[in-house]
Structures are given as C-alpha cells and as structure tokens.
Amino acid sequence: MRQPLIAGNWKMNGSKAETVELLNGIKAGIDQITTSEVAVCPPFPFLYLAEDILQGTPIGHGAQDCSREENGAFTGQVSAAMLKDFGCTYVIVGHSERRLFNGETDAIIGRKYALAVEHGLTPILCVGETLEEREQGKTEEVVARHLDGVLESGGIDALAKGVIAYEPVWAIGTGVTATPEQAQEVHAFLRERVAKKSAEVAQGVRILYGGSMKPANASELMAQADIDGGLIGGAALKAGDFLAICKAGDANA
C-alpha cells in the first residue's frame, strides 16, 4: 500500500510572521492526522523556520526548486546540498511555473532531479499539460515527455527515489479542478509508463495530483486508485484547509 503524501507548495507567499503562524497552525493540528505523510515547501528564506518549528514533529519540509549545479559561481541559486543542510527532505522540480517563467527544459529538470537524489533529497517531479495541449489531444504525449526526461537521465533507479506530481497547468490556481476521472486517467497512464521499466517501481511510486485541490474535492480525487496524495498550492496557505486535505488523505489510505 502506498502511504498518501500531502505536500504544500507555498510558492512565493507569506511574510516571516505569517510563515511562523502557518507552521504553528499545521503543527497544532498534526496529531489529528493518522496515516498521511505531511510536508510543506516554504520559500527559501523561510526554510530555517520550518526546520526550527517543525523539529520533533512528523511534518517534513522541502524546497520549491534547487540549482542544476553542484556549487560555485551561480548567483542567486540554491544547491541541493544547501537544502539538505537546512533539514529538507523534499524538493519540487519541474513545476510548470518554473518551466514557463524560467525556461526550464526537461534536460535541466533531469539534472536537478539527479542532484536532489545524489544529496539524499526526495524530488517531487511535476508533469502536466497546458489547456491548449489537452485540447489538441496531447496530454499523454506531454506528460510522457516530462517523465522520460528523468527516466532518460537518471533511469528507473532514480525515479524510484522520487515522487511524481501530475499537475494539469489549466487547473493550477484557477479553481478549475480536473475531474477525478480525468486525473485518474493520466495517473494510470503514468504508472503504466513506469511499469514498462519496472513493475515493482510502478507499484511503489507515489503519484500526487495538484491543481486546485481543496477540502471540498480532495476526498474524491484521492479515492482514485492511482492518486496517492496531493501537491497543494492555494489551499496549503490556510492551516485548517491543509489539515482537512490531510484528513481526506487518511480517509482514502
């Protein structure tokens, strides 16, 4: 059985004071969560707060990106090793906002993924199609390409050490969620694609859904056979909503 993972991607939100409040709010309710694994990904400057406040709790923390370089003269970048140093267990790679606004290619993302694994972090690889691509019937082609970027650079062994997040771009921050059937179809496709390399890895790898997941729709999404949790944006910024999604994960474990 795959343990549900509920991960909050806080994106570029919150002040220092708001981050402390949110971390404490999630911490205060974590005892109610019985089965799901829970993690939060604050902005880089607040990782030290997560490390400090979440210490001794089962709540993990991670970053939203890492450099594709090991170290050196790369102004403004943050390495996988630095994240490890701040107690991170996870790092998101290949989020569509980075593909779009930072021009990240599958090759760059594959390199980030490999460095994360090398430094003992669990990468959360985001894959997903735009609305235009979906309307052109290219959803499977696009998510396969995103997945293959990692399969080609790190192989199935690297993939086994990460988590996949299916995030249809048209559902991110729009309030338009994929229907459970639409999401399940893509999750099943991704798992089958992994199974072509290794049935065992396909069975074990967690595939999260992300895109306007909230307390009202989390349960029916996570009830799907191949949806193993959520990568939550907006709803992760309110402790009550985030914890409610974690509970929905418990109910569908």
Ligand X SMILES: O=C[C@H](O)COP(=O)(O)O
Output the residue with the shortest Cβ distance to ligand X: 233
Smallest gap from residue 150 Cβ to ligand X (A): 17
Report the distance separating Cα 232 and Cα 9, nearest Å: 6
If one asks whether residue 6 binds ligand X (CB under 6 A), the answer comes out as no
CA dist 46 to 49, 84, 159, Å? 5, 14, 28
**The one segment of 21-29, 49-57, 113-121, 227-235 that binds ligand X by CB under 6 A:** 227-235
State residue 54 phi and psi, 5-degree precision.
-90, 0
Report if residue 109 touches ligand X, rule: CB under 6 A: no
Q: CB 11 → ligand X: shortest distance, Å?
A: 7
Provide, rounded to whole angstroms, the least separation between the CB of residue 48 and ligand X: 22
Please give the Cα distance from 231 to 110 (Å, whole number): 20
Is residue 217 part of the contact set for ligand X (CB under 6 A)? no
Selected from 211, 217, 229, 244, the binder of ligand X by CB under 6 A is 211
- Note whether 127 and 165 are within 8 A (CB): yes
Q: Determine the Cα–Cα distance for residues 232 and 16; give it in Å rounded to an integer.
A: 20
Separation CA 118–CA 109 (nearest Å): 14
Min dist CB 214 to ligand X, Å, is 7
Residue appearing with tokens 């929905």: 248
Which one of 37, 104, 129, 167 is the catalytic residue? 167
Candidates 61, 95, 119, 187; catalytic one? 95
Among 36, 79, 122, 212, binds ligand X (CB under 6 A): 212
* The one among 234, 242, 245, 247 contacting ligand X by CB under 6 A: 234
Known binder of ligand: residue 29? no
- Give the residue, chosen from 231, 239, 244, 246, that forms a contact with ligand X under the rule CB under 6 A: 231
Other Cβ atoms within 10 Å of 166 Cβ, number? 29
Residues 164, 186, 202, 213: which binds ligand X (CB under 6 A)?
Answer: 213
167 is catalytic: yes
Closest C-alpha among 33, 94, 91 to residue 61: 91
- Exactly one of 122, 233, 239, 244 binds ligand X (CB under 6 A); which one? 233
The answer to whether 187 is a known catalytic residue is no
Strand runs labelled E in 74-121: 90-93
Among positions 114-173, residues that touch ligand X (CB under 6 A) are 167, 172-173
The distance of closest approach from Cβ of residue 209 to ligand X in the complex, given in angstroms and rounded to an integer, is 9
Distance of CA 4 to CAs 17, 33, 248, 251, Å?
Answer: 30, 11, 10, 10
